[in-house]
Chains A and B, each alone.
Chain A
Amino acid sequence: MSRFAELLDCFFYRPDEEVGPFLELAPEVEGVPESVVAEVPEEFLAFELAGETYAVPIAVVREIQKVGDVTEVPRAAPNVIGLINVRGEMLPLYDVKVRLELAGQPPVVRTKKDVGRGARVVLLRDPEGDAGILVDRVQGVVKLALSRLESAPNLGLERDAVAGIGRKDGRLFILLDLEQALS
């Protein structure tokens, strides 16, 4: 057996593998080991962007707001719609559709009249500075099992901003990679 094969043998599970002295104390698995993963599904906020359903982990969502006044920021990056005032905090509002190639140009939004009735600002926590994204409609919270998430299929599109795909009850949820989506 090559050195690496030995290492791999260590990596994969065998019910009869060696157990260190420390684990003598740990509880034993009853019966025949079966690879059944019991897990608590993670909660995601699902929302609509140009007819598709996207989702972000609920843990990163600070709050959801109606669209209010948006201050234009001259000479900012093209995906910055503007600046919004969240109880005294000045946060950037981003458009993610351009990044996702769902739209050619970011919308010009100055007041709530510039957006559809369902449109909302989803405020996200981010270590680089919290930020809002403009979504067409908020759908609600969906629970997705992490172990069932798939990597994004390669469709020959610029999809860096997609972290993965989740499915539930026949619906498709595209998970946003926020770091990429806001860059």
Chain B
Amino acid sequence: MTEPGLSQLCVLRVGAEEYVVDLSRVDEILPIPEVTPVPRAPGFVEGVVKLRGEVVPVVDVRKRLGVLPGQGQVLTPSGKPRNRERLLVCRIGRRRVGFLVDAVTHVLKVPRASLRPAPLASGPGRQPHVLGVCGEAGQLKLLLDVKALVAGEGE
């Protein structure tokens, strides 16, 4: 389906940063449905949503990445910064998890070879949820480690 050597990436925005996830992980992109809080769930779990009878856990990526309220909203030319928020339903193994993100912007087709390690020198050290980068300088997109997002604290 995908041309050889090319990867399809789903571009999303959280705070001021643009991230990508492998498009084959992405099951659905939905407007934010009502999230039901779950008592005693791990701290990073915002709650659960019901999708066609299934109960899917939801993780707020903003919180998970420590993005402050209001941060990065300049990038959205919008008076209601939250209304581009989306629930990105992803697959991890055979499980489904929902991720709250600020916006899902578009899909990118890039040569697989253009994915490269994150420059460790820049920025305040290695970010734990970033696996690498792609794109040109100035439009750098970070490869989001969705698996790390759902791993428990301290693991």
Contacts and interface: CB of A to CB of B under 8 A. Distances in A.
A21 to B, nearest CB: 7
B100 interface: no
Interface in B1-33: 1, 7, 10, 21-31
B24 A147 contact: no
Interface in A3-17: 3-4, 7-8, 10-17
A76 interface: no
Interface residues of A, number: 49
Interface stretch (A57-65, A85-93, A95-103): A57-65
Interface string B57-94: 10000000000000001111111110110000001111
A60 B110 CA distance: 29
B107 A148 contact: yes
A27 B92 CA distance: 11
B31 to A, nearest CB: 6
Contact of B150 (A4, A7, A20, A35): A20
Interface string A144-179: 001111110000000000001000000000000011
Interface stretch (A104-112, A123-131, A135-143): A123-131
B152 A20 contact: yes
Contact of A10 (B10, B77, B147): B147
Nearest to A148: B107
B111 interface: no
Contact of B131 (A7, A35, A125, A147): A7
A23 B95 contact: yes
Contacts of B55: 27
Interface residues of B, number: 55
A35 B1 contact: yes
A29 interface: yes
B36 to A, nearest CB: 14
A59 B86 CA distance: 13
Contact of A59 (B22, B83, B108, B132): B83
Interface in B113-149: 115-117, 131-132, 143, 145, 147
Contacts of A29: 27, 91, 94-96
Given A7-B117, A27-B55, A126-B79, A149 B91 contact: no
Nearest to A36: B27
A7 B79 contact: no
B91 A124 contact: no
B98 to A, nearest CB: 9
Given A11-B145, A17-B147, A126 B93 contact: no
A133 B56 CA distance: 42
A38 interface: yes
A26 B80 CA distance: 32
A76 to B, nearest CB: 20
B93 A15 contact: yes
Given A27-B55, A39-B29, 9 more contacts: A7-B131, A7-B132, A10-B147, A13-B25, A26-B97, A29-B94, A38-B29, A56-B77, A126-B79
